[in-house]
A and B are shown apart, each in its own frame.
Chain A
Amino acid sequence: MDQTIYVPDRRRFLQGTGLSLGATAIASLLSSTRADANNPLSARVGHFAPRAKSVIYLHMIGAPSHLDLYDPKPELIKRDGELCPESLLHGRRFAFIGGQLRLSGSQSKFRPYGKCGHHLASTLPNLGTVADELCVVHSVHTEEINHAPAQIFLHTGFGRGGRPSFGSWVTYGLGSVNEDLPAYVVLLSGPPGGAGSSMYSSGFLPSVHQGIQFRSAGESVLYLNNPEGQTSESRRRILDAAKSLNQVRLEEVGDPEIATRISQYEMAYRMQSSVPELMNIRDESAQTLELYGATPGKASFANNCLLARRLVERGVRLIELYDSDWDHHNNLINRIATKCKDVDQGAAALISDLKQRGLLNDTLVIWGSEFGRTPLAQGIDGTGNKTAPGRDHHKDAFTVWLAGGGIRGGVSYGKTDEFGMGIVENPVHVHDLNATVLHLLGLDHQRLTYKFQGREFRLTDISGNVIYDWIA
C-alpha cells in the first residue's frame, strides 16, 4: 500500500480551529443531555399532578374466565346446560362456538373477602387477603375476538399492528427517572403472547420507547454481557477510548447527536451492573421470598412479581408481566385452578409488599387480559364429541382489577347481566381503561399525541373517557 496516503490532511488541519464549537459549548452539550429536550427519556412532568408514578401491569395471556374468578352468576349456574336464549345472542360474535349454544355455569366456589366483600373464587385465597385494596371492574369490553388482534388492541388502541404500546406512550409522555435502567420493562412467565413483541413495541414512536424484555434465562437483557474473555477493565478502556474519539469528533463537527451517543454508551455501561444487581433476588430476605413464593434462579410469575417491586423501587416507569396459558377452551375448571396457583400468591404478595414499603400509593397495579370468556359451553370438538367443558373468547364483558396508585380500594364497578354475557351498568371500553391509566399518571389522553403519517395519533384513538369513580 502506498504510504503517501497518510500525509496529514492540511485543509482539515487548518479547519480544526476557527468556526467549530468552542470547548465551553462542548462541555455544555455534554452535561445537558440528560435534561435536554433532545433527550427523549429525560424526566418530564405530565399534564397535571400524577396519582401514580409507576405502573405494574399483570397481563394474563389467553384470557381468564371472569365467570370463574370474579363475577359469580347464580342464574347461569342454575340454568347450566340449557339452550342459550336467542335474545342473549343477538349481535354477538364468537370465535369458535356456533350452532346450538348452551349455558355453562361455573363450578368455582365463591366467597366474599375483606370489608368490602368482593366475591372471589376459592382458587384466589391470597388475593382475598388484599381484597380491600382492589377496585374490581366487571364491565370491561373490547373490539376484537381473537388473541393477537385483541392483545394489540388492548396495548395500542388499534387491532392491527404498527402503533405504540401504552408503555411507550407513557415513557414518551413522562420520560424516565432512572438513568441506569430502561423506562419500560417487560417480564414473561411462559411463552410470549400471540402478538409477540408487538404488544410492547414502540410502533411509530422512536425505538427508545419500546418495552425491553428482561429475560429469566440467558442474558437478562439482550447483549448485556461482555463477550466471553473480555474483562470489565478492558471494556472500560475501550469505552474510554471511544468516548475520547467521539469527543474529538464532537468538537470538530458540532453535532449534538454525538453528545447523546456518548451519554448512551455510559448508560449502557451502567446497565451492565444495574441490571444484574436488579435481577438478583437472592439478597431478598427469606421472609420476602416466602411471601411471594419466589425461588431465586427459577423462572416464574412469582419471581417476576418480586422483580416488578424491585423495578418500581428503582423508579422504572412501566413494568408489564405476561403470564401465559389462560386460553381455556376445554377442561376449564382444572386448568384455571392450576393457573391460579401460578399467579395468586405472587400478585397478592406484590400488593401487600408494595403497601408495607409505602410504595403502593405511587404504584398502580393492574390485573387483566385481552378479553374474557363466554358464559356458553365450549368443549364439543369438531366431530361432536364431548370434551371436558371450557369457554370460548368473549369480547363483550370481562373483569379487570386495579390497585394502588390513586385507585379507590374495595370498589366494585360495573355490572354484567345475570349470565355474565353483556354489560348492564357502567360499561368500560378498553379506551376508557387506557384513558384512566394515563390520567392516573398525570397524562391527558386527548393531549398525549404524536404526529405520524399525517395524523395526530393517540393511544385512545378518537374516544376514551376517564373513569373518575375509580379514583380515590
Chain B
Amino acid sequence: MVMKTLGSSVAIAIWSLAIPVFGADAELEKLSNEAFSILNRACIECHGREKQEGGLRLDSRDAMMRGGAGGPAIDLGKTATSELLRRIVLPKDDDDVMPQRGNVLSASDIDKLTQWIDRGAPWSSHAANQPHWAYIVPKKVEPPGLDGHVFANPLDAFVAAGLRNAGMSFAEVEDLRTLCRRIYLDVIGLPPTVGAVEDFRSLAQQDLDAAVASLVDQLMGLPQYGEKWARPWLDAARYADSHGFQRDDLRDVWAYRDWIIRALNEDMPFDQFAIEQLAGDLLPNASQSQLIATGFNRCAPCNVEAGTDPEENRFNQIVDRVNTLGYVWLGTSLECAQCHDHKYDPFTRKEYYGLFAYFNQTTIEADRANPNVPGSIRFIGPYLTMKSTDESRANELADRIARAKRELDQATNRLAPNGTEPLSPGAPAGSIERRQLLRPVQFESVNGSTFKILDDGSVLLQEDPPDVDTYVMVVPLTQPNLVGLLIETLIDPSLPGKGPGRGDVKRPNFVLNSIEVNGLDSTGKIVRERIGLADAKADFSQSGFLANNAIDNDAKTGWAIAPQFFKDHWIAFRLVDAQAIDGIAKLQIRLVQNSGNARTIGRLRLSALVDDYAQAIPAPVVDNPQLARLRKELMELEEEQSKLQSSKTLVMEEVSAPRLSTMFARGDFRSPTDVVEPATPAVLHSPLSNAPRNRLGLAQWLVSKQNPLVARVVVNRMWAEIFGNGLVTTPEDFGLKGDAPSHAELLDWLAVEFMERDWSQKAVLRQILTSQTYRQSSRISQPALALDPDNRLLARGARFRLPAESVRDNALAISGLLSLKQFGPPIRPPQPEGLWTKVGGDKYDYQVSPGEDEFRRGIYVVLKRMSPYPSFITFDSTSRLACRVKRSRSNTPLQALTLLNDPVYVRAAQAFAGHVQNEFPTEDLDAQLRYAFQTATARLPSQREVSVLRQLFENELHSAISNSSPDNIRQAWYAVATTLLNLDETITRE
C-alpha cells in the first residue's frame, strides 16, 4: 500500500498499518522514526506513561492532538503556531522553554520536528512498537560501497558514507611524526622517543599501512599497554586505595589493579574478563588470580565512621554494585529504579531488586566489634592472603634476617656475658623469682577492639584501633605476698611499626593516662575500689610523661615512651598498703588511655611483684647504641618479610547461609517489602537456562552474545578513549534519553566483530587504529568547525587534552625521569604537606616513595578518596567514590599553576633541561632547541617556533649572567624546558 499524501488522520491510520514501505514512504518513515526518537529523548520523561505534566502526553499522535492544559500540542494546519514548536524554540532561560530540564533541542532536532509536523505528523506505529535500538541484538550490515570504491578497512566505509551524505570527505593524513606520537599515546599512554618517531616516519613514507600496523602491534605487545588501558577501566571500577568517608583508612586491593593490567596485556577475552571480576570466587576450583579479580566489587566505598549502622553500609554497598553493573555492562542508569520504576527506560523497581538479590549474598565487610557499642564498627575484610610472587627476594630476606639475628645474639652475649641482663625482647631483667606472670581471665577493650591472648600470657590488640580506649583486665589473685604489679608493653609484628603503641607506623607511642586497681570478690563484684598505688617506676619515660603520672589520679597526665619506639618497655608500681588486698579473690586493672589518635598499647602483659618491691622490679635497661641499631635493622627486615609473605587483597566471599532478599520501600534499608528472587531485567535477553542463579549466572548472562548492550557499550568506550568521544556520546546511557549513535551501523559492526573475534579488545583496537579515519589530520578548518564543531562525522582527527595520569607520565617520560617498574603497593609522589590530615581512623605520615618509585606511572599513585592526589584532581581525575565511565575535560588556571610550579613538574623540567644538554651536545643552539622541541611534541618546530625558543634562551642567559648566576646555561635551558612542558600541544593528544 502506497500513500503519497497524508492530509488526514484516516490516512495516517492506514499508513501506520503499512509494513512494506518504499520511496517517499521510506523517507517519511525515517522522519517519523526520528521525530519519535527526539520526543522519547526529550519529552517522555514528563509527558508519558508515568507522568503527565500539565495533563499532556506526547507518546501518541492522538494525545498530542488532544493536548493538555495549554491546548493541543500540535496544530496540523498551522505548523508554525503549534504549541510544541513554539515552546522548543524558546531560549534556554525562558520560563516556557521545553524541555524544561537539560539542554534546549539542537537546531537539527527542531528542524526535524518542524518537517515532521509539516508533513502531518505521521505516527508510525511500527516505530512506536519497535523496541529501542539498543535493546535489539546488533547485526552486521554490509559496509556501504562508495562509487565502487572498496575500503580495505570496513570501518572507513561506514565513516565515508556519512561524510558523503554531508558533502564532506576525509581530511589529509596527519603529519607522520604527530601520527606516531598519537599512536604511542593511544596504545601505551607514553610519548615516543625522537628516534622512534624518525624510524616510524621513514617506514611510513614507504608504506603507511604497513608502518601503522606494525607500530600498533609492537606497542600492543608492550607491558605499558595494560597500564594505559587499565585507567579507564579502574575509573569504572571505582578502584581506590582507601575506604572513603570519615574513616578513610587505606586498604589493600592493589593486587586487583595489577590483575587488570595483566589481563589487558594478555588480551583476556572480555567475557572471561567480566566473569572473573564479577564472580571469580564462584568458578569451580577458583584460582588465586580469579579470586583477586573479584576485587572489582570490593572497590565500592565502605563507611566505617563510628556510629554507622553496619547494615546500612552493607545495603549501600550493594546499591553501588547494582548501579555500577548498570553503567559498566549495560550502559544504563539503573539507580532511579531503586525507589520507583524507571521513568523512561524499561526497568522496574522489582527488576532493580532482582539484580540486588544477586549481590546480597556476600559476607559483611564492616561490623561492630562489640554489638552493644555503636562506636565499635570496624573494617573486617574479607581479605585474601596471597602467595608470595617474588621468591628470590623472599630467600634473600630470610638469609639476611638469620644473619641479623646471629649478630644481635653475639652482641647481646658480649654485653651480658653472664646472662644476668637478658636483653632479648620480652623479658625485663631483675630478680625473676619475685615476678610472677598474671594471666588474665577476662579482658575487655571498652571501645571494642578485638584482641587475642597469646601463649605467653600477653594480650595482643587487633584490627583498627579506636582513637581512645580503656582496657579492663581481671586476674585471679593467688599471691598472698603481693606488693606491686608490673605491666610490660611489648612489640609485635602485627602492630604498626611493631608497636608497642597502636596509632602510627612511625611513632608507635601510647599514653597510659591512669591505672586503677580494684579488688573483686569471687563473684566478680567490686569490693574494694581504687586500691592505693605508689612509687611507679619504668624502664624509660618520655620527657613530661613520667611513670608516676599514670598513678596520680589525673587523667590528663600519663606515662609514654617517645622516642624509644619499636621496643619493649615496662612500668611497675607498689601497693600503698599490702593489706588492701586481704580477702580479695581477683584484681581488676583498668588502663585508661585517652590521649586520642590511637595512642594506646598494642600488646601488654601483667606480672605480680612479690615480697619486696625494690628487689622485684627490673633494673632499668640502659640501651646500647649498637644493639639498638641491630634491633632496628632486624625489625625492618622482618617487616618487609611479613609484607611479602602476607600481601593481601580484598575479595568477594559468599555467605554460607543465604540471606532473604526483598525490595525496599523508597530505597530505605529499614523498610523491606516483598520478597524477590535473583532475576535479570525482562527487556533484555532471557536468562540462560543452564546458568546458576547466583553472581556467576548473572555474569554469564551479561556477556552472553544475546545481550544487545554489552558489546556495543564496551566498543563505544574504546572508541571514546581514542576519539575523545564515543559513537554514542553518552557512554553511560544507551537508553531512551541517551544520545543516538552518530554511526549506528558502524557501532553494530564493531560490536559484532568484537564478539566474533572472541571478545578480543586488542582486535577491536587494531581495527580502529589501522583505519584511514584514525590517521586523519586533527587540524580544524574554520568551515569544518562551523559545520561539525564536535567532529561527530569524523572528517578530521581527534585532538584532546591527555587524562590526568598521562599528563604526568608524559612529562616524566619526556624528561627521562619515568620509571617503568610495574605492579605492587601504591606509590606516593611529592605533594604539599598537611593534605593527609587525619579526620578519623588511622593517621598516616605521607612519605614520598623512595628511589625510582616516586617516578612510576600515574596508575600506581595512591588514591586516598577523601584526600586524592591534588595534581590529578586538577586535571579531572576523580576521587573514585562511584563508577565513572567518562571524565570531564576542563581547562583551568590551576592546571597552569600545577604544570608551572608543582615540584614534580619543576623536577621534570630540570631533568629535561639536563637531558637535552647530555643527549644532544652540540654548539648549534638551534639544533638543540629543535631536538628539545621534538622530544616534547614529536614534531619538528617551524623556524618561527625555534626563534621564539632561542629568544627565550638568550634572554634567560643574559639575565642569569647579569645576575652572576653560576649555572647560567642550566637556567636558560630550564626556562626552555618549562616552556615546552607547558605547551598546550605537549599535554594534548593531537
List residues of A whose CB falls within 8 A of some B CB. 1-3, 5-6, 8-9, 11-13, 15-16, 19-22, 25, 40, 45, 47, 93, 95-98, 145-149, 160-162, 182, 191-198, 201, 204-208, 210, 212, 215, 217-219, 221-227, 231, 233-235, 237-238, 240-242, 244-246, 248-249, 252-258, 260-262, 264-265, 267-269, 271-272, 381-383, 393, 446-447, 449, 451-456, 458
Could you say which residues of chain A place their CB within 8 Å of the CB of B900? 223, 226, 235, 238, 268
A20 to B93, Cβ gap below 8 A?
no
CB of B865 within 8 Å of the partner chain? yes
Q: Could you tell me the dominant secondary structure of chain B's interface residues?
A: loop
- Contacts A6-B927, A217-B834, A227-B901 given; indicate if A96 touches B375 (C-beta within 8 A): yes
Measured in the bound complex, the distance between the Cα atoms of B873 and A204 in whole Å is 12
- Contacts A21-B782, A223-B902, A227-B901 given; indicate if A96 touches B927 (C-beta within 8 A): no
16 A–B pairs (Cβ distance < 8 Å), ordered by A:
A8-B942, A12-B942, A20-B779, A20-B781, A194-B840, A197-B866, A223-B898, A226-B900, A226-B901, A234-B971, A235-B900, A237-B959, A253-B779, A257-B891, A261-B984, A268-B900
Could you say which residues of chain A place their CB within 8 Å of the CB of B990? 253
A160 to B955, Cβ gap below 8 A?
no
A-B contact sample (4 more), CB < 8 A, given A454-B735, A455-B733: A8-B940, A161-B865, A257-B984, A451-B102
CB of B245 within 8 Å of the partner chain? yes
B866 to A146, Cβ gap below 8 A?
no
CB of B912 within 8 Å of the partner chain? no
Ranked nearest first, the 7 interchain pairs of A and B with the lowest CB-CB distance are A194-B246, A161-B881, A196-B866, A95-B307, A454-B733, A454-B333, A268-B896
- Contacts A147-B246, A149-B303, A234-B975 given; indicate if A222 touches B984 (C-beta within 8 A): no
Most chain B CB atoms below 10 A, which of A16, A182, A223, A262: A223
A207 to B875, Cβ gap below 8 A?
yes
Could you say which residues of chain B place their CB within 8 Å of the CB of A1? 194-195, 919-920, 931
Q: Which range holds the interface residue count of chain B?
A: 35 or more
CB of B770 within 8 Å of the partner chain? no
CB of B244 within 8 Å of the partner chain? yes
- A16 nearest CB neighbor, chain B only: B942
CB of B110 within 8 Å of the partner chain? no
Measured in the bound complex, the distance between the Cα atoms of B909 and A235 in whole Å is 13
Could you say which residues of chain B place their CB within 8 Å of the CB of A145? 307
Measured in the bound complex, the distance between the Cα atoms of B944 and A98 in whole Å is 76
A202 to chain B, nearest CB (A): 8
Across the interface, A218 reaches (CB within 8 A) one of B307, B834, B920, B975, namely B834
CB of B108 within 8 Å of the partner chain? no
- Contacts A146-B307, A207-B892, A382-B370 given; indicate if A237 touches B472 (C-beta within 8 A): no
Could you say which residues of chain B place their CB within 8 Å of the CB of A267? 893, 896
Measured in the bound complex, the distance between the Cα atoms of B927 and A208 in whole Å is 39
B320 to A160, Cβ gap below 8 A?
yes
- Contacts A161-B881, A197-B868 given; indicate if A222 touches B927 (C-beta within 8 A): no
- A47 nearest CB neighbor, chain B only: B93
Choose the segment among B287-295, B569-577, B578-586, B946-954 that binds chain A (4+ C-beta atoms closer than 8 Å): B946-954
Across the interface, A45 reaches (CB within 8 A) one of B93, B781, B951, namely B93
Interface string of B831-852 (1 = CB under 8 A from A): 0111001111000000000000
A98 to B245, Cβ gap below 8 A?
no
A25 to B782, Cβ gap below 8 A?
yes
A96 to B306, Cβ gap below 8 A?
yes
B891 to A148, Cβ gap below 8 A?
no
Across the interface, A204 reaches (CB within 8 A) one of B248, B840, B888, namely B888
A306 to chain B, nearest CB (A): 22
- Contacts A8-B940, A21-B782, A456-B101 given; indicate if A242 touches B879 (C-beta within 8 A): no
Could you say which residues of chain A place their CB within 8 Å of the CB of B979? 238, 241-242, 245
Could you say which residues of chain A place their CB within 8 Å of the CB of B370? 382
B470 to A160, Cβ gap below 8 A?
no
- B840 nearest CB neighbor, chain A only: A194
B175 to A11, Cβ gap below 8 A?
yes
Measured in the bound complex, the distance between the Cα atoms of B891 and A142 in whole Å is 35
A245 to B945, Cβ gap below 8 A?
yes
CB of B530 within 8 Å of the partner chain? no
Measured in the bound complex, the distance between the Cα atoms of B448 and A248 in whole Å is 65
B948 to A455, Cβ gap below 8 A?
no
CB of B103 within 8 Å of the partner chain? yes
Could you say which residues of chain B place their CB within 8 Å of the CB of A381? 446, 470
B446 to A383, Cβ gap below 8 A?
yes
CB of B695 within 8 Å of the partner chain? no
B102 to A456, Cβ gap below 8 A?
yes
Measured in the bound complex, the distance between the Cα atoms of B897 and A471 in whole Å is 41
Could you say which residues of chain B place their CB within 8 Å of the CB of A11? 175
- Contacts A1-B931, A195-B245, A224-B897 given; indicate if A161 touches B785 (C-beta within 8 A): no
A194 to B879, Cβ gap below 8 A?
no
Measured in the bound complex, the distance between the Cα atoms of B956 and A238 in whole Å is 9
B942 to A212, Cβ gap below 8 A?
no
- A217 nearest CB neighbor, chain B only: B834
B975 to A207, Cβ gap below 8 A?
no
Could you say which residues of chain B place their CB within 8 Å of the CB of A269? 896
- Contacts A207-B875, A257-B984 given; indicate if A194 touches B305 (C-beta within 8 A): yes
A248 to B781, Cβ gap below 8 A?
no
Across the interface, B891 reaches (CB within 8 A) one of A233, A252, A261, namely A261
B198 to A148, Cβ gap below 8 A?
no
B984 to A258, Cβ gap below 8 A?
yes
Could you say which residues of chain A place their CB within 8 Å of the CB of B896? 264-265, 267-269
Measured in the bound complex, the distance between the Cα atoms of B979 and A248 in whole Å is 14
Could you say which residues of chain A place their CB within 8 Å of the CB of B733? 453-455
Could you say which residues of chain A place their CB within 8 Å of the CB of B595? none
B829 to chain A, nearest CB (A): 13
Across the interface, A161 reaches (CB within 8 A) one of B301, B470, B732, namely B301
A326 to chain B, nearest CB (A): 14
B708 to chain A, nearest CB (A): 16
